Amino acid sequence: MPQFLSKAGQYLPILIDGVVITVSLTIAALVISTVLGLVWALMRYSGIGALVLISKTIVNTVRGIPILVQLFYIYFVLPELGIELTAFQAGAIGLGIAYSCYMAENFRAGLEAIEKGQIEAAQSIGMKWPLMMRRVILPQAIRTVLPPYGNTMIMLLKDTSQASVITVAELTMKGKLVASSTFDNMTVYTFVALLYLALSVPLILLAGYLERRFGTR
């Protein structure tokens, strides 16, 4: 144990740099996935045939392709089409698009949980669709969406490790670099696991709180 702790000062500064990138990548991908997921859900909820078909096609297509393949495509193939992205940008976009499908299902569940009577009441007083969404539907849907949204954040945080395959210098990549240079695999990857746990625990507690607060009626 003393030897393990003595190495913390040597390894942790490098790994903390990876933590910063992991958190930044998580936030960027979370924003992208939330915005896109809401768009896909609203298209599906609109009842307009063409929009419903487009939404279903996008969600099913993206869900059917592994995240690693999506990251490879964005980082290695798009430059051949003239779209140059940094590794971090490709990672954020790839994870954001992949997780937008999970977000879309969360949002769709929240939207469909609204009682039809409330929608009919809003329509009866002359509310247009945008105003009805803003004033009636979305505020109530958020209560249903928040618990699974918290769980999705935890999944996204852990899946940022997949961005290491396109050279994003997040926590897993930093761990690999330190382990390969020191050959101290046990200590390095123990630190990496503990750091991921330290990042995840607040989100786990938040998700638990949201489930208690909004998960029961």
User: What is the DSSP-derived secondary structure letter of residue 113?
Assistant: T
Distance between CA atoms of 106 and 101, rounded to whole angstroms?
9
Q: What is the pLDDT of residue 80?
A: 93
Say if residues 133 and 68 touch (Cβ distance below 8 Å). Answer: no
* Locus of tokens 């990857």: 189
Query: What gap in Å lies between CA 97 and CA 91, rounded to an integer?
Result: 10
**Residue 217's pLDDT is what?**
46
Residue 109 · residue 100 · CB < 8 Å: no
Give the domain range for residue 206.
Answer: 2-214
CATH number, residue 136: 1.10.3720.10
pTM: 0.87
Is residue 118 scored above 80 in pLDDT?
A: no
Count of domains observed in the chain:
1
- d(CA 214, CA 217) in angstroms, rounded, equals 7
Instruction: Write out pLDDT tens, residues 86-101.
Output: 999 999 999 999 999 9
Contact 56, 122 (CB under 8 A): no
Lowest mean pLDDT among 57-66, 67-76, 122-131: 122-131
Instruction: Please report the DSSP string for 48-68 in residue order.
Output: -HHHHHHHHHHHHHHHTS-HH
Q: pLDDT of 185-195, one tens digit each?
A: 988 999 999 99
